[in-house]
Structure 1
Amino acid sequence: MFQSSSTFHKLSRILMAPKPQRRRHFVGSSLDSGVKRARTISILTSSDAATGGDSESSSSSLMKEAFSQYAQYLNDLNDKRERVVKASRDITMNSKKVIFQVHRLNKYNKGEVLEKAEKDLAAVREQHILRLVQELQGTDFWKLRRAYSPGVQEYVEAATLCNFCKGGTLLNLDEINATLLPLNDPSFEPLQINVLDYLLGLADLTGELMRLAIGRISDGELELAEKICKFVREIYRMLTVIAPEMDDSSDMKTKMDTMLQSVMKIENACFSVHVRGSEYVPLLGSADPSYSLLGVSDFDQ
């Protein structure tokens, strides 16, 4: 009993005794090194602060200058794109006028119409294409191809249509580019029509030839219509071979369908002339006095 009570008192004194404070022991070297590193990062000497400040300000000014130059370059490029688009629209509009002029052609006014069309086409080159060349010289004109491509395609269409109506042949790319060389400054890389724009313009040519053939059939010029039919069929055959290799041109694949429709319309018209040729002669008689409708002379007026 005594032993248990004495033991109880000993335990109570031990438990009730104040606890000694725990001290954290740090290695002096690690503590000192940690403090020194903090001071080294946060506190700079006067010479270090002066040097660091100059380098930061100089790099910041260089970045601002580079950014301002790039922004100015983008602004100039956008302004140039707007002027190029305007020139392309003028080329398109005036090239269409040349095409409309050619559609007035018949066997009586061929020389007059083609002479006027060639003068108008030369005016397109000397005025509107010249503006385009001046805008693009000295720059990477491939960056702005999408801006002027529609006008170039329309010009190719007008030039090839005039050449076919004049000589019955196809105006090739080298011949078209040769007409543009005098417009270029010899000190710069010359602006030349690329193969893609030439082929796209050639695809549009078939539609105009289809309209021309239908008009010639209605005027009784069957030989010219058949010649146009063979010419358009040859262009379609050639582009059918080339188009599958042009993976980057969705425009060509779309125009191939339209071109096929033009070929079929010309073929059907020419075939109908051979099958029902007498019905395509004007019903009111012919300018030839020996002409008679169904074996009966023209009615007396």
Structure 2
Amino acid sequence: MAARPSSARKRERPWSSAAGAGDTTTVLDASSFAMMVDTYTLLDEMRERVIKRSRDVQKLAKQSIYSSLRADNDKAGKQIEQAMSAATELLPIINDAAKHTGGMPFLRMGSYSNALEELAEGMILAHFIKHGKVASPKELNELFAINANKDKVAAVELTSEEYLGGLLDFTGELQRYSIARATDRDVEAVALCRDACDQIFGQMLNFDLRNGGLRKKFDSLKYTLKKMEATMYELSLSGSAAGLATAAHAKEGGGGGEEADGNE
């Protein structure tokens, strides 16, 4: 039988020639994996700290909204200050984590960003009740800067999405506030709330919002605006009825006086 061509013979792997029988060749850099495990563990610990502290920010923001709606403006202001301080406290952790993820601030997404939205909502509501105007992103970021300057640390700056999310949520609280003012027949305050929602709605029409959180909140604004329009209409009707009743009462009073004069 003819011998097989040498090219068909089993080829030896050059990298395995040094290894003896039963030995395992190391093909990975174990030290690099150890470093990645350490980084992963560190980021996980940072994430837990951010989530836990973000709950405090959100809780304080919700409490400030509750206080504002009950006309306890001083308490609302203190709660907002505490929430801003807690949010500022987390910023170095978020920025440090980004150094390990190619600059991507992944810890800002989720709990922290949601807490900032809630805080923005509380700040906008408190500002509106106090000044009768909707605070701009610049005005809110200036408040964050003032708060951070007390401890000489970097200040939080709201993103456009965080501000808009808080702004749209604010309109829901504004509707509740307008109902409270309507019960006191404060037509001017209710009209101001309606105008604020209407102007926010008009500005939001300029955005091409895709399906997501902001889109859902914007859709809710449409119904909020309709409710406010209905409240204004009901106030106008009740105002007209009250005016007719007053006129009728005055007429009856005038007739009685004339009759008395005639009897004299």
Alignment TM-score, normalising by the size of structure 1: 0.68
Which residue of structure 2 aligns with residue 268 of structure 1? 230
Which residue of structure 1 aligns with residue 166 of structure 2? 201
Which residue of structure 1 aligns with residue 253 of structure 2? none
1:81 aligns with 2:47: yes
Following superposition of structure 1 onto structure 2, how do residues 36-115 of structure 1 map, counting pairs within 5 Å?
A: 38=10, 41=12, 49=18, 57=26, 59-60=27-28, 62=29, 64-105=30-71, 113-115=72-74
Q: Compute the displacement of 1:252 (Å).
A: 1.2
Q: Compute the displacement of 1:68 (Å).
A: 2.2
Q: Compute the displacement of 1:44 (Å).
A: 9.3
Q: Compute the displacement of 1:146 (Å).
A: 1.5
SS across alignment from 1:143 = coil
Q: After superposition, what is the alpha-carbon deviation per residue over 1:77-135, rounded to whole angstroms, capped at 9, x for unaligned?
A: 22222211112211111111111111112xxxxxxx32332222112212x21332232
Change in Cα spacing, 1:280 to 1:160, as seen in structure 2 (3 Å) is farther
Aligned with residue 215 of structure 2, among 232, 242, 253: 253
Unaligned runs of 5+ in 1: 1-23, 51-55, 106-112, 282-291, 297-301
Which residue of structure 1 aligns with residue 118 of structure 2? 154
SS across alignment from 2:97 = coil
Q: CA RMSD in A?
A: 3.4
Change in Cα spacing, 1:43 to 1:199, as seen in structure 2 (3 Å) is closer
CA distance in 1, matches of 2:44, 2:206: 38
1:121 aligns with 2:85: no
Change in Cα spacing, 1:42 to 1:256, as seen in structure 2 (3 Å) is closer
* Count, aligned residues: 238
* Contact residue 273 and residue 280 of structure 1 kept, 8 A: no
Q: After superposition, what is the alpha-carbon deviation per residue over 1:251-277, rounded to whole angstroms, capped at 9, x for unaligned?
A: 111112211111111110011111222
SS across alignment from 1:66 = helix
Change in Cα spacing, 1:231 to 1:280, as seen in structure 2 (3 Å) is farther
CA distance in 2, matches of 1:211, 1:170: 16
Q: After superposition, what is the alpha-carbon deviation per residue over 1:186-231, rounded to whole angstroms, capped at 9, x for unaligned?
A: 897x642211111111110000000000100101211111111111
Unaligned runs of 5+ in 2: 20-24, 99-103, 251-264
1:178 aligns with 2:142: yes
Aligned with residue 131 of structure 2, among 151, 159, 167: 167
Which residue of structure 2 aligns with residue 17 of structure 1? none
Change in Cα spacing, 1:70 to 1:269, as seen in structure 2 (3 Å) is same
Q: After superposition, what is the alpha-carbon deviation per residue over 1:156-205, rounded to whole angstroms, capped at 9, x for unaligned?
A: 000011111111222111222233336389897x6422111111111100
SS across alignment from 1:49 = coil
CA distance in 2, matches of 1:207, 1:44: 69
* Contact residue 185 and residue 235 of structure 2 kept, 8 A: no
CA distance in 1, matches of 2:242, 2:173: 21
* Contact residue 133 and residue 183 of structure 1 kept, 8 A: no
* Contact residue 213 and residue 225 of structure 1 kept, 8 A: yes
Which residue of structure 2 aligns with residue 142 of structure 1? 105
Percent identity at matched positions?
23
1:211 aligns with 2:182: no
Q: Which amino acid aligns with 1:261?
A: Y
Which residue of structure 2 aligns with residue 12 of structure 1? none
* Contact residue 137 and residue 191 of structure 1 kept, 8 A: no
Q: Which amino acid aligns with 2:183?
A: S
CA distance in 1, matches of 2:196, 2:14: 86
CA distance in 2, matches of 1:193, 1:148: 11
* Contact residue 85 and residue 148 of structure 1 kept, 8 A: yes
Change in Cα spacing, 1:187 to 1:234, as seen in structure 2 (3 Å) is closer
